[in-house]
Chains A and B, each alone.
Chain A
């Protein structure tokens, strides 16, 4: 009996180590220079929020829970497109397969994209970060979203989308990326507004500190089989959850199986947070090609909403003067 138990334990142990061994043994396809081949079409489409929801305390859902939450979210997304509803005027997400549910996405059991701090939440703001947040909130009080093109959101203005990154956060739809690798460069094309990152891999220094850009200035290198990209020189005009131009982002891309790149990013900004924070998103293989998203060229939405806002003001002013006249 005792012998049989130990045999079965040994068997389980063997099977486990076999499974572990298999998981570890998966070797990525390689480029001619020996580095892992990350090329192809990928998506970071996900239902997992950046921060852990208030009512959730655990790090992972069970598979059943995760699928149930996705189902619920998919229903919610489809509801906004019921014919005849006001939401229907904007986009019919489901008709154009823009809802996340109809696109490829990795089932992520994590309850938040943030893995550090352990509570899945952004770290506390520094005094400077709080001050900046308060100032931004104050400005926002006096500026209406539809007052001018410039007062609208950056993505509605087709200037930049959060998926452009870094860090490249899920966009909601069109969260598609194309990676092309050459010995000296890695290129990441983000479908939304055809935002392209060209990352030099030759160890050159960053551009001068005064050259600040929306997506910063990126430099890459390999740490074993992991592509590491470090980005500085942000212009601070596209704050990441309140970040400043002192933002520094380190991204890590590791192919973990044929279908997945594990994308991990660490965000540092001493002017904003009391400590760095780290997030993790699986990039799942998807079907190409990407299409031209000529966002600005076809931005009737911005034009029409501005026209609409001015018409409403005019109407309100006319009604007010009528009342005043009586």
Chain B
């Protein structure tokens, strides 16, 4: 029981209480504002889950280099400014990727030989998360059992299993993804990668021990917050994160078109094996 004497407060106490009150109010206000930002409630699908469906695209320079980088000359002299590296602030939290010493050396080697080693140049499947921030859109088609991510680049496709979840049956380029909902957030856990994909055009790489956890959260009607945790004890000294917003493609009747790039790289890959025309 409260003693009525508790209400007999000195004027000093009263002052303090007032300011405390004001502080609390301010805090409450901020809390409310933050809470509002974090708990944007996305429209729902028929099964009551946040509807992340739509055509999305990253709008940054991570495809050149996920680490912060200044503008730089490109890889192909003849392409001049068209192939020059667009500068970017980077999407890696903390700035630098925590490579193990040997891996750092390999990254450097990758960079030096990027014109021949980058799997993008051969139209190979981009892997995860690189597919997400390629400079082309992707579409999320969301059902209760399967959430599909279909990329325009190389028709790369991912099935995220929301039920019947199994371990990766074999290594693959795009990995094996199981998903779950944590409130407003779609959490995608992907393993079963091969060691052939990169993170960007700068030679940032991983091994077949890669484990990717992605978090997709609608920030508002037209933006997703995309956060990725990368774990690979063969290449990095600790798990690390990248994050970026994803933007809805707002064009009327936006659609994923074909970027069937195999055709564009045949001369590059097999040109030297052509029949020599006689004289």
Interface residues of A (CB under 8 A from B): 31-33, 39, 144, 146-150, 157-160, 178, 180-185, 187, 189, 193-196, 198, 200, 204-205, 207, 211, 213-215, 288-292, 294, 296-297, 302-303, 306-307, 309-310, 313
Contacts and interface: CB of A to CB of B under 8 A. Distances in A.
B155 A194 contact: yes
Contacts of A302: 270
Most buried by B among A178, A200, A294: A294
A196 to B, nearest CB: 5
B46 A33 contact: yes
Given A39-B143, A149-B266, A194 B260 contact: no
Nearest to B47: A32
A214 B263 CA distance: 11
B141 interface: yes
B274 A297 contact: no
A215 B257 CA distance: 10
Interface in B133-190: 139, 141-143, 145-146, 148, 150, 155-157, 159, 161, 164, 166, 169-170, 172-174
A297 B172 CA distance: 11
B141 A185 contact: yes
A81 B74 CA distance: 50
B150 A196 contact: yes
Query: Which of B142, B150, B262 is the most central at the interface, judged by chain A CB atoms within 10 Å of its CB?
Result: B262
A205 B46 CA distance: 26
B251 to A, nearest CB: 12
B13 interface: no
B187 to A, nearest CB: 20
A223 B125 CA distance: 37
18 contacts: A33-B46, A39-B143, A147-B274, A148-B270, A148-B271, A148-B273, A158-B262, A180-B146, A184-B53, A198-B150, A214-B260, A215-B258, A290-B159, A294-B172, A297-B124, A306-B274, A307-B273, A310-B275
Contacts of B255: 198, 200, 207
- A interface, over-half SS: loop
Interface of B: 45-47, 53, 123-125, 139, 141-143, 145-146, 148, 150, 155-157, 159, 161, 164, 166, 169-170, 172-174, 196, 253, 255-258, 260, 262-263, 266-267, 269-271, 273-276
A185 to B, nearest CB: 6
A294 B173 contact: yes
A211 B253 CA distance: 14
Contacts of A183: 46
A32 B161 CA distance: 20
Nearest to B171: A292
B141 A194 contact: no
Contact of A187 (B148, B258, B276): B148
A171 to B, nearest CB: 17
Contact of B170 (A39, A291, A297): A291
Contacts of B166: 289
A194 to B, nearest CB: 5
A147 B169 CA distance: 37
Contacts of B45: 182
A254 B155 CA distance: 27
A150 B266 contact: yes
